[in-house]
Amino acid sequence: MEVNFITLPWISRLLTPESQIREQDHRSEYVENSRGMKLFTCRWLPKNRDPRALIFLCHGYAMECSISMRGTAIPLTRAGFAVYGIDYEGHGKSSGLQGYVESFDAVVDDCSEHFTGICERPENRTKKRFLLGESMGGAVALLLHRKQPTFWNGAILVAPMCKISEEMKPHPIVISILTRLCKVIPTWKIIPTKDIIDTAIKCPERRMEVRNNPYCYKGRPRLRTGHELVKVSLQMEEKLHEVSLPFIIVHGGEDSVTDPAVSGLLYETAASADKTFKLYPEMWHALTSGEPPENIAVVFSDIVTWLDERSGGDARASSELEQKAGHDSRHVPVTGKPPPPPEDAHRTRAC
């Protein structure tokens, strides 16, 4: 039995532009950080209802919030959550040299200042607070947790960058050379890399959208940016056992950008008593935006259900999806081989 997800009310409304306007209150503004830079911020609020909880988006490297993560914000807003995002320095519509991360600590500090300010507003003080980090944003989310270990109520980590796999780890000599070059030519775009758009995003239409998005950086990684990403990954590797907040990791089994095995290591190593790891066979890196709609629906079903269980809400929207999608056949348990799907189960689809 194959399910047509476009006919499901939850998904059809999600994919209709008119419903996006009708059901969300979307606004954006610029804020100034401690270094005098203008950072673009945006928010999506459910209309005519009090948000059940707050969700803060941490986007990936070379991406941005208002366009690239709109498809993440809208279903969460429809589920009753207030969603807030910020473009990092050098990303999206924010100030700074495009694609340039001079200091990862500064990125985390900017997010912390903006996000905590929202949490401290009178209308938000009693609401639960969740972080959602995609790819490099997963590292940002975990570092925000490290900065304030008891402040956040949980995190959704989507294919997170939290450690360099052993086969990809650069030799110490390479790291030493990289560190020295950063002092001389930090902004040069000389780090060789594969085309991440082609390897991260399964659907050709979505790849074209990203390529046509002027706010997404598409050049080679700048020297300082690459150094900062390597440095923070190595630092986080030593601190995975200190992760203590509730979290869910969702990761594609065919992800070639961030290693699913590293997510498994985070799950096994973290001190958190409440932790969940879902691995989706045949899915790629961009789980929430680059897969076919029916695959994306399953991932959001898991995310919304997880949030429902930790924010005092009901899971009616996600339960409907699970029942109609043959949900249990679509993700793999943390340990062991994936069970063979029943003959009538809906399988992961390619574009």
pLDDT at 303: 98
Q: Which of 22, 238, 232 is nearest to 108 (CA)?
A: 232
Q: Which three-class secondary structure state does DSSP give residue 5?
A: helix
pLDDT at 170: 73
- Residues 6+ positions from 241 with CB-CB distance below 8 Å: 269, 270, 271
pLDDT at 190: 85
Helix, strand, coil share of the chain (percent; to 5): 40, 15, 45
- Per the CB < 8 A criterion, the answer to whether 145 and 243 are in contact is yes
pLDDT at 150: 97
Q: pLDDT digit of tens for each residue in the chain (351 aa)?
A: 333 333 334 444 444 455 555 678 999 999 999 999 999 999 999 998 999 999 999 999 999 999 999 999 999 999 999 999 999 999 999 999 999 999 999 999 999 999 999 999 999 999 999 999 999 999 999 999 999 999 999 999 999 999 876 666 777 888 888 889 999 999 999 888 888 899 999 999 999 999 999 999 999 999 999 999 999 999 999 999 999 999 999 999 999 999 999 999 999 999 999 999 999 999 999 999 999 999 999 999 999 999 999 997 654 444 343 433 344 434 554 433 333 333 333 345 566
pTM over 0.75: yes
Token pair for 83:
């969603």
Distance (Å, whole) CA 228 – CA 207? 26
Give one DSSP letter per residue of 276-345, joined into a string: EEEEETT--S-TTTSS-HHHHHHHHHHHHHHHHHHHT---HHHHHHHHHHTGGGTSB-SSSPPPPPPTTS
DSSP class of residue 238?
Answer: T
pLDDT at 314: 54
pLDDT at 178: 84
Burial class (CB in 10 A: 0-12, 13-18, 19+), 189: middle
Strand 53-58 and strand 128-134: pairing? parallel
Name the architecture of domain 5-328.
Answer: 3-Layer(aba) Sandwich (3.40)
Distance (Å, whole) CA 240 – CA 187? 30
pLDDT at 328: 40
Distance (Å, whole) CA 317 – CA 49? 16
pLDDT at 193: 81
- Residues 6+ positions from 201 with CB-CB distance below 8 Å: 207, 210, 284, 285, 286, 289, 290
pLDDT at 330: 42
pLDDT at 194: 80
Distance (Å, whole) CA 170 – CA 231? 11
Distance (Å, whole) CA 24 – CA 80? 10
Q: Which of 187, 158, 157 is nearest to 90 (CA)?
A: 187
pLDDT at 24: 81
